[in-house]
């Protein structure tokens, strides 16, 4: 009996360890890498030839996508790929963590094209673009971090090298989540004053869910419609760019076909029926976009995006008129 109790206690501790926050604290606040970290002693000579990661469909990790706490802050990882874009400061981590276990359970290889992110799904893929020189790489997200200051992503040594940020230790970047069927094309320079809304080509069916072997496992899937009829919302409208609507909306997604957009919007109706906001379809640049709103101003829209992000598992994008 005592042996069984001991085994149960050890199993519980193991599960708790898998679901707690990872060890990566990213870099110091001064902009350089963490004390004791840095380049390795035997740096490969052909880092320029290291190919980018190639987005592919992978099941979500059973534990690495559960909510966790790091440095007193709660993080809720996303469960949908290809519907996220952000700008912020990137850092990198090297020899101090090389060979250690990542949040995905894999061994960290500082010379592979990988990265750590607080909330992007594990595993998933992201395009990272250096805003200063417009260099761009694609990395595989397999770890959690960074957790200090305004850092948004922690890159491997090779990814940081190819982006040209090794010497400074950090740089302003744009991070864009990529779906498995994303067509990889060169990234054009981004004008800060006229940044375009996020364009998401895959339909809602591209969501990747983790394998489930028992009821104890957390299952992550597309939000299901409620059993009871949702609160009635205004009729669906398909607008175009010429409508001259000056209101602020949040973009929930963008699709190549209206059928995919309508299917996604119906799922969002079930999730967001209590918000009192309209769900609309907008046709722009060859994509059918799902918007929710209107909002009185950008501040109200951003506040709503934060709360909706916690509910949906991804953060909607503010779409300016």
Pairing mode of beta strands 248-255, 317-319: antiparallel
DSSP code, position 101: B
Asked if 108 contacts 98 with a C-beta cutoff of 8 angstroms, the reply is: yes
In a domain, 206, yes or no: no
Last residue of a domain, one of 153, 176, 194: 194
Query: What pTM was computed for the model?
Result: 0.52
Look-up of token digits 């501790």: 13
* Residue among 273, 270, 272, 262 at smallest CA distance from 225: 270
Counting the structural domains of the chain, the total is 2
Question: What do you get for the CA distance between the two ends of the chain, in Å?
Answer: 67
In a domain, 1, yes or no: no
For residue 205, the number of C-alpha atoms closer than 13 Å in the C-beta half-sphere is 6
Strand partners, 114: 140
Is residue 180 located within the same domain as residue 235? no
User: Which residue range forms the structural domain that includes residue 229?
Assistant: 223-319
In a domain, 202, yes or no: no
Pairing mode of beta strands 287-295, 248-255: antiparallel
In a domain, 248, yes or no: yes
Written as tens digits, the pLDDT of the chain (321 aa) is 444 444 444 444 443 334 344 445 444 433 455 666 778 778 888 899 999 999 999 999 999 999 999 988 999 999 999 889 999 999 999 888 999 999 999 999 999 999 999 999 999 999 999 999 999 999 999 999 998 777 899 999 999 999 999 888 889 999 999 998 765 544 444 344 343 333 333 333 333 333 333 333 333 333 444 444 444 444 444 444 334 456 788 888 888 788 888 888 888 888 888 888 888 888 887 788 889 989 888 888 888 888 887 778 777 888 766
From CA 112, how far away is CA 98, in angstroms rounded?
11
Instruction: Say how many C-beta atoms besides its own lie within 10 A of residue 214's C-beta.
Output: 5
């Amino acid at each position: 009996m005592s042996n069984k109790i001991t085994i149960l206690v050890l199993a519980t501790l193991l599960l708790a360890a898998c679901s707690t926050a990872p060890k990566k604290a990213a870099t110091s606040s001064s902009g350089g890498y963490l004390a004791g970290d840095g380049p390795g002693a035997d740096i490969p000579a052909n880092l320029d030839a290291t190919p980018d990661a190639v987005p592919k469909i992978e099941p979500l990790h059973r534990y690495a996508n559960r909510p966790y706490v790091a440095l007193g802050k709660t993080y809720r990882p996303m469960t949908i790929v290809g519907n996220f874009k952000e700008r912020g400061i990137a850092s990198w981590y090297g020899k101090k963590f090389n060979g250690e276990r990542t949040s995905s359970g894999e061994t960290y290889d500082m010379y592979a094209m990988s990265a750590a992110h607080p909330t992007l799904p594990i595993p998933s893929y992201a395009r990272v673009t250096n805003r200063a020189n417009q260099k761009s790489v694609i990395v595989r997200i397999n770890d959690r971090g960074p957790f200090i200051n305004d850092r948004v992503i922690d890159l491997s040594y090779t990814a940081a090298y190819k982006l040209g940020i090794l010497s400074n230790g950090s740089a302003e970047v744009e991070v864009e989540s990529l779906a498995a069927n994303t067509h990889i094309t060169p990234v054009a320079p981004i004008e800060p004053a006229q940044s375009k809304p996020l364009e998401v080509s895959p339909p809602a069916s591209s969501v990747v869910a983790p394998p489930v072997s028992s009821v104890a496992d957390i299952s992550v899937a597309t939000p299901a419609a409620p059993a009871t009829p949702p609160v009635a919302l205004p009729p669906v409208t398909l607008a175009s760019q010429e409508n001259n609507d000056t209101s602020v909306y949040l973009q929930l997604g963008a699709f190549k076909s209206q059928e995919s957009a309508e299917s996604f919007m119906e799922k969002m109706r079930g999730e967001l029926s209590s918000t009192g906001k309209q769900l609309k379809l907008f046709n722009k640049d060859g994509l059918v976009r799902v918007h929710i709103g209107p909002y009185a101003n950008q501040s109200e829209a951003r506040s709503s995006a934060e709360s909706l992000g916690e509910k949906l598992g991804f953060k909607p994008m503010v779409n300016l008129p």
